[in-house]
Copies of this chain bind each other. A is one copy, B any other.
Amino acid sequence: MKKTRICELLGIKYPIIQGGMSLIASAELAAAVSNAGGLGIISPNGSEPDWGKVAENLRSQIRKGKSLTDKPFGVNFPIHVLGQDRSLLDIAIEEGVPVVTTGAGSPALHTSYLQEHGVRVLHLVASVKHAKGAEKSGVDAVIAEGYESGGINGPDELTTFVLVPQVVDAVSIPVIAAGGICDARGLVAALALGAEGVQMGTVFITTNECIADQDYKDAIVAANDTATIITGRGSLPIRGLKSELITQGQRTAEADIAPRQMICGAVAGMINEIVSAGDVVRNIVQGYDRIVAGL
């Protein structure tokens, strides 16, 4: 498979990144992805109200990750959760985490601080304007995340197919494509659009190593092409699996519905089995050459 600037930047074999996912992106998953040649990402448990416990848990997850792989892995920090507080960032720095992904807030806030401590910073964007802003803030790369992605979604609804090439044209730092990608076809398509890597979330939920509930994994495996929906449009748009509750709510008060749902991306209908996280990476690597040869 092609070596991109993302491989060099992050010291990884394949330009495949596992997305940070609140509550379920633990050390076991991150290490499995990194061991297979991609970049695993640990998410701190940011929904825990006790900040001391969040910090303790993050340090223990990073240490567990280091015990499970000697390859690089990263930590994801939603900036709105941190605010000005750098105590969690300091844990990542102290533990020698080489890569941090950020999003949901200004990249101007912590990028230089992390980089001064030797950490590479990848920032999530959903429009050309934010991509340019992130580049100006000095981030090492942007993750251009399309409308297809699970969880919190941007207001502009730019899909991967139109977002990625426009971000690629607007910045000179490497661009990682996210949203709607789960297999070798998606990786080749993303690189054709000008991306130098992919970030995938949903396909890693349905792996043996992911600590998500079995019901959650089974629901994604059972999902068809039209199984996901955006709720909270106009306030905090979130993509997840439809439920009877949500579809009823959608009809009556789309903007106000509480996002009690199984978060996942529009790619859910393409995921049909639970495998190991390493196999997700290996299947993509194996499929890549065959797809490129067919073009």
Contact = CB atoms under 8 A, between A and B. Distances in A.
A180 to B, nearest CB: 4
A286 B187 CA distance: 23
Given A128-B224, A295-B2, A161 B181 contact: yes
Interface centre among A127, A147, A161, A267, by most B CB within 10 Å?
A161
Nearest to A165: B185
A243 interface: no
Contacts of A163: 225
B148 A161 contact: yes
Contacts of A2: 294-295
Interface centre among A156, A181, A226, A267, by most B CB within 10 Å?
A226
A46 interface: no
B128 A269 contact: yes
Interface stretch (A7-15, A87-95, A189-197): A189-197
Interface in A167-197: 169, 179-181, 183, 185-186, 188-194
A190 B292 CA distance: 12
A253 interface: no
A273 to B, nearest CB: 14
Count identical subunits in the complex.
2
A155 to B, nearest CB: 9
A275 interface: no
A24 interface: no
A193 B161 CA distance: 11
Contact of A292 (B169, B269, B295): B295
Nearest to A155: B226
A158 interface: yes
B185 A159 contact: no
A31 interface: no
A111 to B, nearest CB: 23
A258 interface: no
Nearest to A180: B161
Given A188-B192, A193-B186, A295-B188, A225 B128 contact: yes
Contact of A146 (B129, B159, B169): B159
Given A161-B161, A180-B161, A270-B162, A225 B156 contact: yes
A102 interface: no
A266 interface: yes
Interface string A253-283: 0000000000000110110000000000000
B192 A266 contact: no
16 contacts: A128-B224, A128-B269, A157-B230, A161-B181, A162-B180, A165-B183, A165-B185, A185-B192, A185-B193, A185-B194, A188-B189, A189-B192, A189-B193, A191-B294, A192-B292, A292-B292
Closest 6 CB pairs of A and B: A161-B180, A189-B189, A188-B192, A189-B192, A159-B159, A128-B225
